[in-house]
């Protein structure tokens, strides 16, 4: 089934042979109409062929895009194109050509292979049997810097594409992304993803060079290699032809950390939310009696993610937490290994990979905290409401503040071996202890548990003794 994507074509009416233009704004930023004479369905021949992988196997469900060839002055834009998929035999067909001369791109995400004909014609035979080649991969992160008084609210949806070609990727500001591209040396354009936003910017007199930001590769990327560049910042206030503003503001360090997330041992997980956890004990993250998972990026189609190196690591290590949402519910969760702060010193502006993490069904914890005034006397105190505690899972976003002697339930937790953290719920007490550089062991209790996959752990009551004047650095 052929999909028509942001194109216009001549349709032959049964009576009068009048031309009617139509347009579908699906994920393409440029509108227009076909004006080539003699290029109607009645006279234009079919564009059809067969796609084969490098091993000669016919490709099913590969994306095939036929696009117009843009004039040199418009080459930084995304061209009009029509799109279809190959069938079970690797065959594809378009009813007609968009123009006498056009370009053709094939993308097979399953095998990471592509094919690109930058210039071809219907009768050339170039695409009768198209054999794919191993693709290169372009990976980066795109940020959006809005001006103090923006004329148009651009939003968070953007498009990254090879200049003048139908190779593109939809991205959201702040998210890492990757796209398959042919081997070679290319220039990229970055623009708002909504064609209506593009039109509004143009109507407000914003120059095309400011709407479509450009970046050119320094060297050729080979087939099978991954080009990692950026992060990039799309900003309407930047100078024309300027895209990377990393040294100026927003990000002071180009070094990044990355990882790969799998749903199981074999399947990569796309659209997994990712949060970097440097506050291992939740001292600064517990707000309004609980902490929140705050997604900083998402994994791409290959399960990969990228984030800037953290500005500070207050303890000797940090972790990365993952969750996969479906219909508003956490269906899978996971944690990276503890990444030593010393590892960051070795990357020198490059990218540190923290490895692979496999997600599993989330767990939950049911427990409570008993107030014990004196550790030498395990008798429970009845004065529960006077003291509050913070309970959390070390190295995660899961921390809650509760009064002692109350039962609590924590859900959507990463399963497996974890450390339950327990300390005073009084912010002033904790702040004083930390400022006095009191050893954590003197006011933080840690209990080792194994959270069952997809099930709840009913933990026995835990005991809590508030800091006293005998605690080094405590209030006196």
**Per-residue model confidence (pLDDT) at position 330:** 95
H-helix or E-strand spanning residue 263? none
> Are the CB atoms for 177 and 302 separated by under 8 Å?
no
H-helix or E-strand spanning residue 461? none
**Per-residue model confidence (pLDDT) at position 373:** 67
**Per-residue model confidence (pLDDT) at position 61:** 93
Query: How large is the average pLDDT for residues 347-357?
Result: 82
Q: Where does the pLDDT of residue 414 fall: very low under 50, low under 70, confident under 90, or very high at 90 and above?
A: very high
**pLDDT tens-digit map of 364-376:** 999 888 877 665 5
Reference 476, options 428, 425, 440, 441; nearest CA is: 428
**Per-residue model confidence (pLDDT) at position 104:** 96
**Per-residue model confidence (pLDDT) at position 361:** 95
**Per-residue model confidence (pLDDT) at position 463:** 81
**Per-residue model confidence (pLDDT) at position 465:** 79
Mean pLDDT estimate for the chain: 80
Report the percentage of the chain scoring pLDDT > 70: 80
Tabulate helix, strand, coil % of the chain (nearest 5). Answer: 10, 40, 50
Statement: residue 249 has pLDDT above 90? no
- What global pTM score does this model have? 0.52
**Per-residue model confidence (pLDDT) at position 382:** 57
> Are the CB atoms for 197 and 155 separated by under 8 Å?
yes
> Are the CB atoms for 434 and 408 separated by under 8 Å?
no
Query: How large is the average pLDDT for residues 263-271?
Result: 82
Q: Where does the pLDDT of residue 42 fall: very low under 50, low under 70, confident under 90, or very high at 90 and above?
A: very low
Statement: residue 322 has pLDDT above 70? yes
**Per-residue model confidence (pLDDT) at position 418:** 95
**Per-residue model confidence (pLDDT) at position 39:** 41
Q: Where does the pLDDT of residue 267 fall: very low under 50, low under 70, confident under 90, or very high at 90 and above?
A: confident
Reference 155, options 166, 169, 170; nearest CA is: 170
Q: According to the per-residue pLDDT averaged within each range, which of 40-49, 199-208, 408-417 is highest?
A: 408-417
What is Dmax (Cα atoms) for the chain?
99
**Per-residue model confidence (pLDDT) at position 202:** 85
Statement: residue 152 has pLDDT above 50? yes
> Are the CB atoms for 114 and 35 separated by under 8 Å?
no
Query: How large is the average pLDDT for residues 354-371?
Result: 91
H-helix or E-strand spanning residue 47? strand 47-52
**pLDDT tens-digit map of 90-128:** 999 999 999 999 999 999 988 999 999 999 999 899 999
Statement: residue 266 has pLDDT above 90? no
**Per-residue model confidence (pLDDT) at position 376:** 53
Query: How large is the average pLDDT for residues 146-150?
Result: 60
Statement: residue 345 has pLDDT above 50? yes
Q: Where does the pLDDT of residue 243 fall: very low under 50, low under 70, confident under 90, or very high at 90 and above?
A: low
């Amino acid at each position: 089934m052929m999909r028509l994507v942001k194109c216009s074509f001549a349709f032959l009416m049964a009576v009068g042979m009048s031309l009617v233009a139509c347009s579908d704004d699906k994920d393409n930023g440029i509108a227009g109409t076909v004006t080539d004479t003699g290029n109607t369905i009645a006279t234009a021949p079919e564009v059809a062929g067969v796609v084969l992988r490098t091993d000669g196997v016919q490709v099913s469900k590969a994306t095939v895009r036929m696009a117009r060839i843009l004039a040199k002055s418009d080459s930084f834009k995304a061209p009009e194109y029509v799109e279809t998929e190959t069938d079970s035999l690797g065959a594809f067909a378009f009813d007609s050509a968009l123009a006498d001369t056009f370009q053709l791109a094939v993308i097979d995400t399953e095998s990471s292979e592509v094919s690109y004909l930058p210039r071809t014609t219907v009768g050339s035979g170039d695409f009768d049997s198209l054999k794919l080649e191993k693709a290169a991969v372009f990976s980066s992160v795109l940020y959006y810097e809005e001006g103090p008084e923006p004329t148009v609210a651009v939003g968070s949806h953007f498009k990254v594409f090879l200049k003048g070609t139908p190779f593109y990727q939809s991205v959201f500001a702040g998210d890492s992304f990757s796209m398959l591209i042919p081997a070679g040396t290319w220039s990229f354009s970055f623009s708002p993803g909504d064609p209506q936003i593009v039109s509004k910017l143009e109507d407000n007199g914003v120059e095309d060079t400011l709407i479509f930001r450009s970046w050119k590769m320094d060297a050729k990327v080979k087939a099978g290699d991954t080009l990692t560049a950026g992060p990039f910042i799309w900003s309407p206030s930047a100078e024309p032809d300027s895209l990377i503003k990393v040294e100026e503001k927003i990000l002071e360090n180009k070094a990044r950390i990355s990882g790969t997330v799998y749903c199981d041992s074999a399947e990569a997980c796309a659209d997994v939310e990712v949060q970097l956890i440097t506050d291992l004990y939740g001292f600064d993250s517990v707000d309004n009696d609980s902490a929140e998972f705050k997604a900083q990026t998402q994994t791409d189609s290959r399960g990969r993610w990228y984030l800037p190196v953290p500005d500070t690591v207050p303890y000797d290590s940090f972790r990365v937490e993952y969750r996969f949402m479906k219909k508003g519910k956490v269906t899978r969760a996971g944690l990276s290994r503890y990444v030593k702060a010393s590892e960051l010193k070795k990357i020198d502006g490059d990218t540190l990979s923290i490895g692979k993490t496999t997600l599993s069904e989330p767990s939950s914890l049911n427990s409570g905290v008993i107030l014990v005034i004196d550790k030498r006397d395990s008798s429970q105190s009845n004065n529960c409401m006077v003291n509050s505690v913070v309970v959390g899972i070390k190295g995660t976003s899961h921390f809650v503040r509760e009064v002692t002697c109350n039962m609590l339930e924590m859900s959507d937790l990463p399963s497996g071996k974890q450390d339950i953290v327990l300390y005073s719920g009084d912010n002033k007490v904790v702040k004083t202890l930390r400022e006095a550089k009191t050893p954590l062991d003197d006011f933080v209790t840690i209990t080792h548990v194994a959270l069952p996959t997809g099930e709840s752990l009913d933990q026995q009551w835990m005991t809590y003794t508030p800091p006293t004047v005998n605690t080094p650095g405590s209030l006196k």
